Structure 1
Amino acid sequence: TWEHHLRAGDYSEWFRHQIRDKELARETAEAEKDEMLSAQESRKHVLDAVRRRYTAPATAPEE
């Protein structure tokens, strides 16, 4: 489950070693260590971090 892997630190390790993104791994580790976050909050924290780093801003095509 999400929380099992979160508490085991699996997501930050995956970002660090497979994706090779140390900053994303650091941000994810913050969520993994914060036991006050619910599963929903931690997913949002990680997803927001991924989106900030890997989603290009939407731009209108130039005419």
Structure 2
Amino acid sequence: MTYPETARAATQPNATHDVDPDLKLDRQEARQGKTGLNVRYVLAISLAAAILAMALIYTAGTA
């Protein structure tokens, strides 16, 4: 296969790739990013701040 054929094949919805179906990864190898960055706390604080900001904007508009 030449490069343009490969590029075209990769954009097809049912493109087949050379992947070993029996490939088994352990949990650490399968992970694609760092862990332990307190993402849940950032999400919770951001969500609370967004809700508070929207509530303040809403109450300021009705006053």
TM-score interval w.r.t. the shorter chain? under 0.3
Which structure shows the higher helix fraction? 1
Q: Return the index of the structure with the highest Cα Rg.
A: 2
TM-score with structure 2 setting the length = 0.27
TM-score with structure 1 setting the length = 0.27
Greater relative CO, 1 or 2 (CA 8 Å, sep 6+): 1
